[in-house]
Chain A
Amino acid sequence: MDSRGLPWRRLPLRTRVIGAFTLGAAIAALVLVVITYGLSRQSMLQQREESSERQFFANARQVQSSLRAEDPDFTQLLESLPSLSGSRSIIRTGDETWTSLSLTPSDLPPVLISTVLEFPQAQTMRYRLDDQPVLTFGLQMRPSAASALEGVAYFEVVPLAEVESTLESLALILLVGGVLTVLVGVGIGLWASGGLLRPLTDISDAATSIAHGRFDTRLEEVSDPDLDALVRSFNEMAAAMETRITRDARFSSDVSHELRSPLMTLRASIDVMQHRREELPERTRQALDLLNDEVIRFENLVQDLLDLSRSDSGPMQNDLVNIEELVRATLASSEATTSFEVSPNAQGALVMGDKRRLAQVLDNLLRNAEKYGGGPTRITVSSAGKNIEIAVEDSGPGVAPSERELIFERFTRGAAARKRGAGDGAGLGLALVDEHARRHGGAARVEGKPDGDSGARFVVTLPKAGRR
C-alpha cells in the first residue's frame, strides 16, 4: 500500500508528532471530564435525594399523626415542619390546599397528584418550577376513620438549583482543566518532536554544510544508542568522503604540476622557434605550426581537466559580479562578433560568484557556438524570477532533443561535434559550463531558438544576488 497517499502521511513529521500528542491529550481530557462530571453529578443528586427523602418521610409521619386530631390545624403544622435547604411543603385534601411559603396549589403537576392519590407508595418527580429544577415527593395520607377528610396527600418540593449551580461550576472547572490538558499535550508534543527531530535537523545541517564544501563537518557524539549508530555511520561516511575528495584533489594537483611543467618548456621552445620562423625551411615551418596548434589544444585540455576536477571540490571566489560587465568583458577578450542585449529588468543585475569561472562559462559557450553553430549570433541577458538567464544563440544545425542532456556530460560530444572528427575537442567545454553553473547554484540547458529558426540556444541560469 502506498502510505504516501494518505493525507496524514503527507503532513510533516513534526506536525504529525504534535498532532498525535494533542489528540491523545484531548481524548484523555474528554474521558476524564465526562467520567468526573457524570460521577459527581450522580453522587450529588443521589445524596440530595436521599437526605430529602429522609426529611420527607419524617415530615409525612408528622402530618399523618396530625390527622388523628379532629380538626387539624394544617397551617400551623406546615410552619412547624423542619425544612431542609429550602424545601417547601403542601398538604392537600379533596377540596383544600395548604401550602408553606410562596407555593401555590398549581405548582404541583396534576399528573403527580393523581398518581399519588392512586397509589399508596411514595412518588417522586423531577421537573422545572419557575424555571428552577425541583424534586417533588408526594405521599397519600390515611385520615382517621372519624375524619371527614378525603384524598389527603402530603407533598414536599425540594429545590435542586443549588446542586445544579454546583454542577455548573464543576463543569466549568473541568472544561478549563480539559483545555489546559490539551495545551499541555501540545506543549509536550512540541518539546518531544523537537527532541525527536533535532538529530534529523543536525544531520540535515551537516549534510548541507558538506554539500557546500566544508568537508570536515562532523556530527557531535550522542549518548542515545539509537542515535549513536546513525551519528557514527554519518561521520564515517563524511570521513570517507573527505579522504577521497582530498586524495582526488591532491591527485589533480600533482597531475597539474606534472603536465604543466613540461608544457611550459614546450610553449617557450615553440615561441623561440616562432621567433625565428623566417630562418626555417617551409616544411619545418608547417611542422612547427602543427606542433603549436597541438600544444595549444593540449594546454586547453589540461586547463579544462584541472578546472573540472577543481570544480568538484575546491572553494570558489565569492564576489559580487555584474553580469552585464562580465559579458562585455568576455566578449571584448574573445574574437566573437555577436549582438548583445540586456533586457531592462536585468540591467545592473548581480550574481554572487567567481568572475573568472563565470567568464569561462560564457567563453566556452562562445567557443562552442563558434565550432559547431557557425558562430554566436545573439547573446541575451534577462531576468527570470529569482534568476538571471544568459543565453547564447547560434544559427547552426541546433541540438536534437535526444542529445540535449547528453552533451553536458564529460567527454561526450553531440552529433555536430562528431561529424567534425576526433581532433577537435575532448567534450569538456559544455561539461565545464554545467559544472560551473551548478557550483554557482544555477543550471545550464540547451533548447531550440524561440523564433523556430534553425540553431541552438544555450541558456545558463544563475541565482541573483541582492543589490547593493
Chain B
Amino acid sequence: MKLPRERWEQGLTYDAYKAGMTRNGERVEANERRVVIDPESVRMVRDVGRLNALVLAEDWCGDVIANLPVLARLAKETGTLDVRVFYRDQNDDLTQRWLNQGKYKSIPVVVFFDLDLNELAHWIERPASVTELRARKRAEIYASRPDFGSPDAPVDQLPDDVRAALQAELAKMREETTPFANAEVLRELRELVAGVRA
C-alpha cells in the first residue's frame, strides 16, 4: 500500500506530538530516559537506510506511553527513521488499515514505509512475550495472597485496603517488568526493520 505524500505530511513529528499531549507527558519522558538502545540495534536499523515510520497513538493509552518512547529513542539514536504520529480517533481512514486481528483498534501501531511511502511492515500494540510474562506474574501475585481473591472476580468486591494492596503489587510488577518489555519492543522493531531489507 502506498500512502499519499500529503497524507503523510499531516502527521505530527514526535516532538510536536509530545508538545500537544494533554496527559501522561511525564511518564513518556521517563520511559524515554530509561530505554536502553544497544549498539547492535542501532547498526541493524541503520544498515537498512532511511525509512518513514507512521504511528497511530492516543495520549491516554498505556501501551502508547510505554512503547512509543522505544521507537522514538531508536529513531533518535539511528538518525534514519522519520517518525510521524497520527491520533487514532481523528484518523479513522488510517486506523481501519491496520486493525489488530482485523477488528481491534489497538495502539500503538507503527507502520514502516520506504521514502516513496510504499508500506513495508507494521507492528501493533506490544510483544506477545510481554503480555504472556505479565499474565504469569499477575497470576503469581494473586496466588501469593489469597485475600486478593480470584483474578477473574470483580475487584470492587475487595475491601478498600486489600484493593489498594493489590493495586500496589500490580504496579510494582509492571515497573519490574518494564526493562524486559522495552527490550522486547526494541527487539521486535529492529527485527521488523531488518526484515524489510531481506
Partners in one complex: no
